[in-house]
Amino acid sequence: MSTPSHYTRIVLNERPEGDIQPSTFRQERVAFDLAPHAGEVLVKVDWLSLDPAMRGWLRDVRSYIPPVKIGAVMRAGGLATVVRAGQGSTLVPGDVVSCSPGWTEYAVLKAKEVEKINVPPGAQVLDFLGPLGMTGLTAYFGLLDVGKVKAGETLVVSGAAGAVGSVVCQIGKKLGAKVVAIAGTDEKCRWLETDLNVDKAINYKSPTFHAEFKKAVGYFDVFFDNVGGDMLNFALTRMNKNARVVLCGAIADYNSTQPKGLVSYMNLISQRAKIEGFIVFDYAARYPEALKEMASWIADGSFQRKFTVVEGLQKAPEALPMLFNGGNTGKLVVHVSGRDAKL
Amino acid sequence: MSTPSHYTRIVLNERPEGDIQPSTFRQERVAFDLAPHAGEVLVKVDWLSLDPAMRGWLRDVRSYIPPVKIGAVMRAGGLATVVRAGQGSTLVPGDVVSCSPGWTEYAVLKAKEVEKINVPPGAQVLDFLGPLGMTGLTAYFGLLDVGKVKAGETLVVSGAAGAVGSVVCQIGKKLGAKVVAIAGTDEKCRWLETDLNVDKAINYKSPTFHAEFKKAVGYFDVFFDNVGGDMLNFALTRMNKNARVVLCGAIADYNSTQPKGLVSYMNLISQRAKIEGFIVFDYAARYPEALKEMASWIADGSFQRKFTVVEGLQKAPEALPMLFNGGNTGKLVVHVSGRDAKL
């Protein structure tokens, strides 16, 4: 596979205070000088994943992962094709791999940090950014291990039309829970009810949202929260005894310089309930069991996936805010190069 | 035992909006017409327990227990002496019992809802409102079952000089945790360090409280919270990975019409941490194991107890707010009648 004389990458230019700005990232066109040493591989990036967590990586605060440095390529998971493998790697040119290349057309990565993709029956490569990737694993372990949802329980999912939310809704139904989905447009709600078969989808922008929530949910056992803010605070008033609130994300607050606080937290005492955060990386040793189950659902045709595709690496910076303003349905990805997916 | 022609009781006069007011409760002097039927006992109240949870019982909201009705005797746990037992009870006049008589000099109670007290070696009757009563059980199950504190971990206790807090501090030390106690006066801090042997006590009213907290605690594994509000919010910025925040009470917010919110909740995600509430009644089946262990600590002389005693039933309404403004150290009790305790 030939390589070009120059390639494009996008670096962090400055840390945003609130919303991501045009000046947050900077595109660089640089001479091609990438070569894999022993234990490394050179890859050409095909697809990149855009995730709400990326907003957190821009903050210079104590977290589960160091912040992206100013001037460094923006961190991102993705799918790529091996161009050349250094000594000691079993990968060969043309292998498609799951990896964390960042916002770049080409990258040299440690061979042990890329994983060759074997597409299971009924799936496609792009599913490795969806249910068969971090998105699916986050939904799976968050709902089963943190939320411990059981058949017959009531599960509420916020950000339900998003990448993780839409997987959570479907796993919830498979486990026999009553699933109420919360999303931000009527179109998303229709998709959730019609294609994902949730019991009820509610548009949180409706002026009667609280009344609709009370009617559809009553009180919940598990709240899988991707949103935070006001909605989470309201949810704390609608908990069943021993309710579990799974904190997966807080897209309503990621961009806030002054997040809204949870004033209803005292209900956690009277309902013996809990709010618990988690990071999917902690479950790495158990990824195989989750992926096996997800693959079986894909194979039997019962698992829906939807992708919102942004064309071209240079569009990544302006696409990222879609995650916080409701612009995407399903998984938001950037198509950098290579063949199209079947969408 | 003779009974008087009249007795005194204190009823809920009106629901307070914020702080408890002189008009919140009303004292009644009523003709004595109490007689135990089959399965009941007539008791004379000796001691009453004052607890922060009582503020919650005045609110007409969904909770773990119905609110006290307007005009009803204020609910309260206490210790009493049996005056007369109805048919079918094994209790006899003179038996000292643990019960929930409410704010009254005399009460007729269901025999199955009172428990005869057998004072273990080294203990006294009043300990049944402290470490051998709901106070001790709350500390025990909150710290061990919800907090799951382990030897070598860092435990922070807010409201540490209060009834539950002072028991939590001592159990924490016995389990081998590093214990940092938070209280509201230098005198309480001295007591916590000198008598309860906590590793460090910090006065939250100090202008350098946050700096002192960071120096003494670093990051904590378990936060046993009796206070809520700003302190809880600050604590959420000082969690170790997998930290557990035990929500026992929220004395800073019980009287608030506009509680302060937790704006730092997003740290729960990055630290894979949780906030969990509990109600001690859920552990009723396991009370004996806890009481056996507490009694053994009392017997070996290693367990400190302190009581703040208010003399006379009529003082209960004005004493209750002490729990929210730092007026008591250790367990706050009302001495209604009977012999004094060894304090």
**What CATH code is carried by the domain that includes residue A91?**
3.90.180.10
pLDDT at A254: 76
Candidates A175, A131, A139; CA nearest to A154 is A175
Neighbours of B229 (CB within 10 A): 20
Q: Is A47 exposed, middle or buried (0-12, 13-18, 19+ CB in 10 A)?
A: buried
Among chain A residues, the shortest Cα distance to B280 is held by A272
Flag if A64 and B278 touch (Cβ within 8 Å): no
A57 to chain B, any CB pair closer than 8 A? The answer is no
Shortest distance, CA B316 to any CA of chain A (angstroms)? 24
**Alpha carbon distances (Å) from B54 to B50, B75, B139:** 7, 8, 17
Q: Is B296 exposed, middle or buried (0-12, 13-18, 19+ CB in 10 A)?
A: middle
Beta-ladder partners of A154:
A178
Q: Tokens 């990386």 — which residue?
A: A281
Same domain as B247, residue B157: yes
Q: Is residue B290 part of a domain?
A: no
pLDDT of residue B341: 64
How high is the ipTM of this complex?
A: 0.94
Q: Is B30 on the interface with A (CB under 8 A)?
A: no
Q: What's the pLDDT score for residue A262?
A: 93
Residues B19 and B42 in one domain: yes
Whether B296 is in a domain gets the answer no
Q: How many residues does chain B have?
A: 343
Residues B145, A147: Cα–Cα separation, whole Å? 18
Residue A299 placed within a domain: no
In angstroms, the Cα distances linking A199 to A158, A182, A196, A213, A222 are 14, 11, 9, 12, 15
Contact B269 A247 (CB under 8 A): yes
Closest-CA residue of B relative to A56 is: B270
Q: Do A260 and B262 touch (CB under 8 A)?
A: no
Residues of A in contact with B55 (CB under 8 A): none
* Per-residue pLDDT tens listing for chain B (343 residues): 789 999 999 999 999 999 999 999 999 999 999 999 999 999 999 999 999 999 999 999 999 999 999 999 999 999 999 999 999 999 999 999 999 999 999 999 999 999 999 999 999 999 999 999 999 999 999 999 999 999 999 999 999 999 999 999 999 999 999 999 999 999 999 999 999 999 999 999 999 999 999 999 999 999 999 999 999 999 999 999 999 999 999 888 877 777 778 999 999 999 999 999 999 999 999 999 999 999 999 999 999 999 999 999 999 999 999 999 999 999 999 999 986 666 6
Q: Among A62, A253, A275, whose Cβ lies nearest the Cβ of B268? A: A275
Q: Which residue out of A265, A270, A271, A283 would a mutagenesis test of the B interface target, given it has the greatest number of B Cβ atoms within 10 Å?
A: A265
- Of the residues A270, A279, A280, the best mutation for testing chain B's interface (the one with the most B CB atoms within 10 Å of its CB) is A270
Is the alpha carbon torsion for B76, B68, B281, B192 positive or negative? negative
Length of chain A: 343
Intervals of chain A under pLDDT 70: 339-343
Looking at the structure, tell me whether residues A36 and A20 fall in a common domain: yes
Query: Closest to A274 (Cβ–Cβ): which among B56, B265, B275?
Result: B275
Residues A83 and A18 in one domain: yes
pLDDT of residue A63: 93
Partner-chain contact B249 A263, CB within 8 Å: no
| Residues in B touching A225 (Cβ below 8 Å) | none
User: Does a structural domain hold residue B235?
Assistant: yes
| Residue numbers of the domain that contains B210 | 134-281
* The pLDDT of residue A343: 60
CB atoms within 10 A of CB A6: 12
Rounded to a whole number of angstroms, the distance from the CA of B235 to the nearest CA of chain A is 14
CATH number, domain at B179? 3.40.50.720
User: Across-strand partners of B127?
Assistant: none
Contact B174, B256 (CB under 8 A): no
Is B205 a domain residue? yes
